[in-house]
Amino acid sequence: MRKIILCLALGSGLLAARAAEPGKPISVKVVIVTTFEVGADTGDKPGEFQYWVEREKLTESIKVPGMTHPVLTNGQGVLGVVSGTTARCGNQIMALGLDPRFDLTKAYWVINGIAGVDPADASLGSAAWSRYVIDGDVAYEIDSREADPKWPYAIIAIGAKQPNEIPKNEGWEPDAMSYELNPALVARAFALSKDVPLVDTPEMQAYRATYVGFPNARKPPFVLYGDSFGSCRYWHGVTLTQWANDWTKLWTKGQGNFVMSDMEDQGIASALTILTKMGRVDFQRLLVLRTGSNYCMPAPQQGVVNSMQAEYAGYLPSLESAYRVGSVVVHDIVKNWDAEYAAGVK
């Protein structure tokens, strides 16, 4: 038995060694980016990564310096990544992007994670393809109890004087507060996946029924366009949902619509922007798919603290939605690589 185990271990090591053979970078077609896993990668309570590992046969492991979780691959040009949470995940994406063992110049990036969904737009388990990623981190903030009572909230763009005001550019602000994704690529992803059947449960049905006055929140899960709002702080509530909506409109000049709240997409978008300038990746090949595990504000009469601390009725269904919708696009990229994707989608 010990000999069998040893042979299996050596075989696995040889696979990883071949995949990372010096002088022959691995040509990557798709990078699936998840942000967390719970426990093991297979066989227990799933996080964002587990369904991808189990169903896509991501069995070959490659250790990347600077990344806390090994990169997994199925040997068919698909990488699976756990980036870590909050905008700090951008550091790990940079580590992957700079690893010379990978040729990522033509790789498509599919961010695939769960999120808090705006009940004005969609329901638990729904899946939204982003046209924009918004940075919700960089701002002035005053304690709301000390702010001008006429303000809707006490968060202001750096350099501005009041909420919902675009500041003058003084030269030290971030280069970008929103990132527009490739419209043709996003449209293709949506068209491929818009009719994918999504999981619904009695628990989800019961909870969404409490969102009286929010017709989209009460629908069964569906696929839609909806922009990603990334902020390292886990925020919640009616007022901050208004802020996320306003902030999205502010930084997209009215073109964006906040639907999904998360903690990572702004960090990943920033890292990929830098890597694109370095010639390591192509930002025009980025897709962002978020699925609703919870609502980002309470139901009427629920109370914000109770809402924030409640068990997520949509947790497992949102993981299922993320895989079902995302995998349709990943499979299409791999299947039609030469004919439709290698040269880019325009």
Task: Tell me how long the chain is.
Answer: 346
The confidence score (pLDDT) of residue 172 equals: 78
The confidence score (pLDDT) of residue 16 equals: 43
**pLDDT above 60: residue 135:** yes
The confidence score (pLDDT) of residue 22 equals: 58
Q: Give per-residue pLDDT as tens, 256-312.
A: 999 999 999 999 999 999 999 999 999 999 999 999 999 999 999 999 999 998 888
pTM of the entire predicted model: 0.92
**Average pLDDT over every residue of 316-340:** 98
**Average pLDDT over every residue of 211-232:** 98
**pLDDT above 80: residue 11:** no
Domain residue ranges in the chain: 27-137+180-235+252-341
**Average pLDDT over every residue of 142-161:** 95
**pLDDT above 90: residue 13:** no
The confidence score (pLDDT) of residue 174 equals: 83
Q: How confident is the model at residue 100 (pLDDT cuts 50, 70, 90)?
A: very high
Q: What is the CA radius of gyration of the chain?
A: 21
**pLDDT above 60: residue 14:** no
Listed residue (100, 90, 71, 80) closest to 137, CA to CA = 90
Q: How confident is the model at residue 21 (pLDDT cuts 50, 70, 90)?
A: low
**Average pLDDT over every residue of 8-21:** 42
Q: Give per-residue pLDDT as tens, 24-59.
A: 899 999 999 999 999 999 999 999 999 999 999 999
The confidence score (pLDDT) of residue 108 equals: 99
Paired tokens of 342 = 């290698």
**pLDDT above 60: residue 2:** no
The confidence score (pLDDT) of residue 295 equals: 97
The confidence score (pLDDT) of residue 126 equals: 98
Residues of 30-64 as b/e, b for ≥16 C-beta within 10 angstroms?
bbbbbbbbeeebeeeebbbbbbbbeebebebbbeb
Do the Cβ atoms of 313 and 124 come closer than 8 Å? yes
* CATH fold of the domain at 27-137+180-235+252-341: Rossmann fold (3.40.50)
Do the Cβ atoms of 159 and 150 come closer than 8 Å? no
**pLDDT above 90: residue 197:** yes
β-pairing, 108-117 with 286-295?
Answer: parallel
**Average pLDDT over every residue of 319-329:** 98
